Chains A and B, each alone.
Chain A
Amino acid sequence: MIKKVISVVLLALVVIACSSSDGGESKPKDNFDRQTMLVNWADNIIIPVYQDLDSKLSALVEAKNTFTVTADQTNLEALRTAWLNAYKVWQYAEMFNIGKAEGIYYSSYMNIYPASAAEIEANIANGGYDLGLANNQDAVGFPALDYLLYGVAGDDSAILEVYNTNANASGYKTYLSDVIDKMKSLTETVLNDWTSTYRDTFVNSAGNTATSSTNKLTNDFIYYFEKGLRANKFGIPAGIFSGGVLYPEKVEGYYNQDVSKELALVALQASQDVFNGKAYNGTTNGSSFDDYLDYLQTITDGEDLTALINAQMNTARTQIQTVNTNFSSQVENDNTKMTLSYDELQKVVVLLKLDMVQAMNISVDYIDADGD
């Protein structure tokens, strides 16, 4: 009789062992193919975004090279345009905190704001800085350029004087140059990793585990929406987390004074495009969260989450469009428009973090305790 028990238990263990190993997979097509979604993300969104960012940064490097030779108004304008063009593409790239980008803390060296003017000035005055150090994260990237191109002096002619007649003009030029070169080289590192090896790793990790591509990218996507978009661009400057103490100096593009709204709208569009799987270079709509949710809806007969999420994103966009182009002055003059925008974005967060994650049944974070 004991043999009977042992054989039953052994059989059970074999079932477990087989299930936890990655056996060969056969794929009948009566099912949502998650790998198609990963391929769409990688080939039609993520890699094209990085390629575009890389080329926009190349243009920025060129504009910088011209400017450091001849720091005049024309070249300053060209440099600023190149900065804004790259900054807009960055709004797409920031959410893909996976692979190399995650490993080298890419986004922390590209867009921590507000930039610290004091640290930037100290670096320039002292020289011998290492822009790869963690404590320089608020002295590099797009926000540092925002300061160097718009905030380093009172008006344009004063700014040009800093790069021409200031006692340490060459120091300013070198720093400007180093910051831009650093951004370019970091981006190249991330892009090259995607195009050489990581793309296949990403696409083939199609399981439902805490470290699989779908789960990680979903987490990244929601985190970006909640933190990068909702909190950083709206919540923090609008004093949501600080008991009504407003931080107009903490808006994105503070020194430029004219782009925070534009960048926020691009970020919202980027999120919506990724949600719907829209190709970065074009209008084709590939497989993404929307299709996955539609598929799951056919099983559960639940709500049309795709429609609800898109509608709420559109509502948020309409609200944001009422805000002044300069978030900073909006915060100072009529903060309610900022908090209303925050509220609409928060509703999207609930839909993404709660309803979408529940439908997909993935863990929002790495919780590995038992359930029952």
Chain B
Amino acid sequence: MRFNTKAYLQSKTDAAPLAVFRILFGIMMLFSIVRFWANGWIDKLYIKPKFYFSYYGFEWVKPLGDYTYLLFIICGLSALFIALGLKYRVAIIVFFLSFTYIELMDKTTYLNHYYFISLMSFLMIFLPANAYFSVDNVLRKTAYKTIQQWCVDSVKLLLGIVYFYAGLAKINSDWLFRAMPLKIWLPSKYDLPLIGENLMQQEWFHYAMSWSGMLYDLAIPFLLLYKRTRWFAFALVVFFHVFTRVLFPIGMFPFIMIVSTLIFFEADFHHKIINHIKRVLKPKEVIDFKAVLEIKMEKVLVPFLVVFFVIQLLFPFRYVLYPGELFWTEEGFRFSWRVMLMEKMGHATFTIKNAKTGASFVVRNRDFLSSFQEKQMSFQPDFILEYAHYLGDHFTSQGHKNVQVFVDSYVALNGRLSQRFIDNTVDLYKEKESFCHKAWILPFTDEIKGL
């Protein structure tokens, strides 16, 4: 049974699943933006702080003061336009750019699911998600019943990568053989009704959750692909995400994933959803139905997306290029679907020293960072370095001479006793950020085996 690439690329599928995906994605994004604003997080995370942590190479991306609100309005409106399928191509490009800009403003707020949304919206730029059941159809008086099979499959593939790689990352000795960090997290949920005081305290339950979480993530893409297991898989998806939502403060992510996995269902299911919407909205009927939407520049686009996915498959493994324990150094940790894998906390105290006189003083982090930034900074080496440079620049501009910056930092990982994290004899003000290994991170004294 050889896979015929040419035949596959020519195969067509119903346009409804991608249309429904577009609508739900747009609604979820709009809701996420509104929720973010309503929680006062724009002010708290992007207006109030004095200093923002940048991604290496994206130092030019900064919050825009009060215009940051405008950015969120643009992002929210483009999400609405996506849901409506109104000027879809422009809307999805604007959404991708504005959302990604927001995420790049301060890496303190990095979440894997924000990265997922950036990737998904990037992919959707190239997909004809407005081919069917969109306002664009009405405007152009044209709609399409079918689209290329690979358009729908590429969305499934991206979803599958997220789950499968999250599962791979759980294959490590802390997760499977020490039930960490669930052994820390679950007992603290003692105030949950019914299960808090008993189940959550049981060691066997922590192991059961660790192992089933790993198996769930690895298996769910395949269970969703096959028709016979699909309903079972969807029930698992709902249960798993709702359960984690109850346990952890993970915001909109579970709902976004639940809604996204609907794309795995057959077209008739999506037609029923569309019919329900039609009954409520009673939209204008489109006059001209065309059978197939031909994608422009398909010859360029398909190889481009192949490259995109190859990068997606390889990028999470870049950590093998670095020495040391990944969980400890976090070199290659982000953008790899390592979700809820560690309980890691740090405590970092910075000392500003005059190299000539030896006079030194300790910095109060709260003078410069929000409590959230301080928390995130304390255990991530690239944050510590960037902050050390900020402090060095700040105190130099204040007239301090021969400034050196040292840090006294401790980190505790997955229930191990805290140990010194950064070499406290290294003047961090002299160290430069790069993609190379940071030699001033002290070695982890334990071992975590696994992927």
Which chain A residues have a beta carbon within 8 Å of chain B's beta carbons?
A: 1-2, 4-5, 8-9, 11-12, 15-16, 18-28, 30-32, 34, 206-209, 212, 235, 239-244, 296, 299-300, 302-303, 305, 308, 346, 349-351, 353-355, 357-362, 364-372
Contact = CB atoms under 8 A, between A and B. Distances in A.
B269 interface: yes
Contacts of B246: 15-16, 19-20
Given A25-B193, A235-B362, A361 B185 contact: yes
Contacts of B238: 8-9, 11-12
B11 interface: no
Interface in B250-273: 250-253, 258, 262, 268-269, 272-273
Given A239-B361, A244-B359, A367-B375, A208 B197 contact: no
B371 interface: yes
Interface in B301-351: 339-340, 343, 345-347, 349
Nearest to B349: A346
A1 B272 contact: yes
26 contacts: A2-B269, A2-B276, A5-B234, A8-B235, A12-B238, A12-B242, A23-B194, A25-B197, A28-B197, A31-B197, A32-B190, A34-B190, A208-B188, A235-B362, A299-B203, A346-B408, A354-B411, A354-B418, A360-B188, A361-B184, A361-B188, A364-B375, A367-B375, A370-B252, A370-B253, A372-B253
Interface stretch (B57-65, B83-91, B107-115, B149-157): B107-115
A359 B345 CA distance: 11
Contacts of A371: 111, 248-250, 340
A9 to B, nearest CB: 7
A353 B248 contact: no
A202 to B, nearest CB: 16
A308 to B, nearest CB: 7
A30 B184 contact: no
Given A16-B246, A26-B197, A207-B191, A299 B361 contact: no
A151 to B, nearest CB: 28
Contact of B188 (A2, A15, A20, A362): A362
Contact of B193 (A22, A296, A368): A22
A159 B188 CA distance: 57
Contacts, number: 159
A207 B188 CA distance: 9
Interface in B203-233: 203, 206, 231
Given A2-B276, A28-B197, A243-B359, A351 B418 contact: yes
Interface residues of B, number: 72
B290 to A, nearest CB: 27
Interface in B357-372: 359-362, 364, 371-372
Q: List the 9 closest A-B pairs by CB distance, nearest first.
A: A370-B251, A23-B193, A361-B188, A243-B361, A207-B191, A372-B111, A12-B242, A244-B359, A365-B371
A300 B413 CA distance: 13
Nearest to B234: A8
A82 B312 CA distance: 72
A299 B191 contact: no
B412 A354 contact: yes
B69 interface: no
Contacts of B189: 208
A163 to B, nearest CB: 40
Interface string B409-438: 011100111100000000000000000000
Identify which of A20, A300, A346 gathers the most chain B CB atoms within 10 Å of its CB: A300
Contacts of A302: 415-417
A16 B245 contact: yes
Contacts of A354: 345-347, 410-412, 418
B213 to A, nearest CB: 14
B172 interface: no
A20 B192 CA distance: 8
Contacts of A360: 188
A38 B262 CA distance: 47
Contact of A372 (B112, B192, B243, B362): B112
Contacts of A2: 269, 272-273, 276
Contacts of A21: 193
